[in-house]
Structure 1
Amino acid sequence: MESLGAPGAGLAIALENLFPPLPSEIILPLAGFTASQGGMSLVAALVWTTLGSVVGALALYWVGALLGRDRVVAIAEKLPLVKASDVHRTEAWFLRHGTKAVFFGRFIPVFRSLISIPAGVERMRLPVFLGLTAAGSALWNAIFVLAGYGLGSRWHEVSDIVGVYSKVVLAVAAAALVALVVIRLVKSGSGRRRAGKR
């Protein structure tokens, strides 16, 4: 960030969208800290990080759009414990809640990247997608950039606090996934037993 300034922060956030293991919870407070030290202006940090979020999300939107519904269904049918009906249910859910999901999804680790793909698959209107992404990202980014700016050299305390939040969210998501797999396995086993009795 010291060498590239605010555009470097924006680039880092764009890459974070494409590669979720890069943590925005570290990049954003560090951008705020750099701004507090005069390495960039605070406004530039906010604008460039939001632009980076939108660019990264747009790239994933086009991945979804290029894959399309048929390819996603075909991929789902090849995955263990996943059915085409899962894709159709997800699609129906997204059609009902897509705008809220795109906006509020920006506040959830990993999900904030992935939500752009179904938006692309469903060809959500691009101005709507961009507007919701920019609004949600600007709010999320501002919280962390301003926290880093205010904390100064203690900027890393933000990532410590958010690390707990991220772990809780990911633990809940993992538990839900395990529950889904167990339910599928139980249903599959009971279905086979019923078929064997016939």
Structure 2
Amino acid sequence: MDPLGNLIDWIAVYGIFGLVAFGLAERFLPALPSYGVLVAIGIAADGAVWSLHTAVIGTTIGSVTGALGLYLLIRAVGRKRSVKLLYWAGRWVGLSHPRIDWILSSLRAREGALTILSQLIPTVRLISPIAAGLLGMNTLRFVCGVAVGIALWNGLFIAGGYLAVLAIPGINSSALALKILVLLVVAEVLTALVWRLQRRYSMRLNPGVSKR
């Protein structure tokens, strides 16, 4: 069985519009395994369905559009409601209040670089547009940073799927996505450990800072 392969068949019916629609949907549906679908899209990027660069461009356009929509929504809603939405979204993707506060302070300190990097962290990438809107980040800077980060994220997994099918013709995209999921979980756990160690070290240097 290959459920991701079946999903790709559905996306392929709509061509580049299907790629854009997927990119848009993955910003609003945290349960959607975007990395897995991207891998499957890469496996299908043989020129018959879509080319490799078309796959990256189409999914990036959709995802950037979704991220910009969230950013503008937060700017329109206002700070008080936005904070509640941010914490709610954080719980949905497994981020605690302290980690969200850390993300906000990090984005405030170095907007450009961290906007790009935030799109390369599985859970953080989903709430970073909300955080950017809450902080009132410059719109052009936000769009440029997010576009670069999303292009890197999408390109990495699409290229991975493309290279995998070249190495192993007929590979099951769902099985490959499951293996990648394990690697992502390990990477995220290691990132969380590094964050906790960094936070603990900062508190030792600044004992006046209270723990949240």
1:58 equivalent in alignment to 2:68: yes
Partner of 1:112: 125
Equivalent in 156, 163, 183 of residue 181 of structure 2: 163
Measure the CA separation in 1 of the matches of 2:86 and 2:155: 37
1:92 is displaced (CA, Å) by 4.2
Q: Which runs of 5+ in 1 are unaligned?
A: 181-198
Partner of 2:161: 148
CA contact (8 A) 1:66 1:121 kept: no
Equivalent in 134, 137, 146 of residue 124 of structure 1: 137
The letter of the residue matching 2:153 is: W
CA change 1:24–1:120 in 2 (3 A) is same
CA contact (8 A) 1:13 1:27 kept: no
Partner of 2:205: none
The letter of the residue matching 1:166 is: L
| Alignment of structure 1 residues 81-96 onto 2, 5 Å | 91-96=104-109
**Structure 2 length as normaliser, TM-score?**
0.68
1:70 is displaced (CA, Å) by 3.1
Partner of 2:48: 38
**Structure 1 length as normaliser, TM-score?**
0.72
Partner of 2:26: 16
1:107 is displaced (CA, Å) by 1.0
Q: Which has the higher helix share?
A: 1
1:101 is displaced (CA, Å) by 2.5
Measure the CA separation in 2 of the matches of 1:51 and 1:76: 24
Measure the CA separation in 1 of the matches of 2:124 and 2:107: 14
Give % identity: 27
Measure the CA separation in 1 of the matches of 2:63 and 2:84: 30
CA change 1:149–1:76 in 2 (3 A) is closer
The letter of the residue matching 2:186 is: V
1:25 is displaced (CA, Å) by 1.1
Q: How many residue pairs end up in the alignment?
A: 172
Measure the CA separation in 1 of the matches of 2:72 and 2:189: 29
Q: Which has the larger radius of gyration?
A: 1
CA contact (8 A) 1:35 1:149 kept: yes
1:147 is displaced (CA, Å) by 1.6
1:100 equivalent in alignment to 2:110: no
| Superposed CA RMSD | 3.1
1:161 is displaced (CA, Å) by 3.3
CA contact (8 A) 2:107 2:115 kept: no
